[in-house]
Structure 1
Amino acid sequence: MNFSAVARRAAFSVRLCAAALLGLAALAGSATVAGADDVTFVMNNGHPNAVRVELYSQDRDHVWPGGGEDYYLDDGESKEMSLACEAGESICYGAWIDGDENTYWGVGPNNAQTCENCCYTCEGGETEEINLLP
């Protein structure tokens, strides 16, 4: 085999490997994108005190906003809380009066309570306005 035949085979092998890597990258990228979604929780604090809010996945160990933080809504304030979630995931809100974890809505602080109508499915879009009333 002469030098040019070896060079052609090497070039072909490089193109074949590059095509395979691009195909794998496309598959990995589409799998990640297909499993992700966004949802926006729309909340209004109708209570005369400030409240704190966290959003809890019911399907995995995940909390929004996370990192020991929470969303803060002053009295009368409305807020949109957008989050990236896994498609089909159930997410429940927990809200409580700032400084009084015994007065709560939804699943309360630390996802510790049960609730009716406080969970939403991650499927894009936004929730109806959730009113936190006394």
Structure 2
Amino acid sequence: MAVLLARRGAAALLALVALSAPVLAEELTFVMNNQHPKPVEVQLYSQNRESLWPGPSDVFLLEDGETRTMTLACETGETICYGAWLQGDRTTFWGVGPGKVRHCDNCCYVCQGGKTEEIDLVP
């Protein structure tokens, strides 16, 4: 009897963990080219949950003329937007800007595998 109750408890616990854990089922690759003569910092922001890449106190850094690919694990169907700004100048920005504070018309992508077109950060 005790073994049967232990099995049921373990099965219930596994089901609860499976339902509550986020599913990171896809990867999305952003391809960005910095055409500005100064370095640009980039963060990628989820619009569906409190997640950002590469992390809350980290940025992807693109030097002048650099093209960079940034691949992230995301949930299928999740919307990810980019924010980019000049290093040392958070008032000159692209996309949603630093901290995801602005609205943008074409800086968001849906996580469904694959990669973005090349995003040119032009002065």
Deviations 1:11-40 (A, max 9, x none): xxx8xx99xx79x97xx77xx79x323000
- Residue 47 (structure 1) aligned with residue 55 (structure 2): no
Structure (1 or 2) with the larger CA radius of gyration? 1
Question: What fraction of aligned residue pairs are identical, expressed as a percent?
Answer: 53
Instruction: Give the superposition deviation at 1:101.
Output: 0.3
2:62 is matched with which residue: 62, 67, 73? Answer: 73
Q: Distance in 2 between matches of 1:36 and 1:97?
A: 31
Counterpart of 1:36 in structure 2 is 24
The runs of 5 or more residues in structure 1 that have no matched partner are 1-13
User: Residue 101 of structure 1 corresponds to which residue in structure 2?
Assistant: 90
TM-score, normalising length: structure 2: 0.82
**What is the aligned-residue RMSD (CA, Å)?**
2.4
3-state DSSP of counterpart to 2:99: helix
Moved runs in structure 1, 4+ residues, more than 6 A? none
User: How far did 1:74 drift?
Assistant: 0.3
Structure 2 residue runs without a partner (length 5+): none
* TM-score, L = length of structure 1: 0.76
In 1, Cα distance between the equivalents of 2:57 and 2:76?
Answer: 24
**Over residues 46-70 of structure 1, what are the superposed CA-to-partner deviations in whole Å (9 max), with x where a residue is unaligned?**
1111000000000001110014101
Which has more helix, going by share of residues?
A: 1
How many residues are treated as equivalent by the alignment? 122
CA, structure 1 residues 82+129, in 2 after alignment: closer, same or farther (shift >3 Å)? same
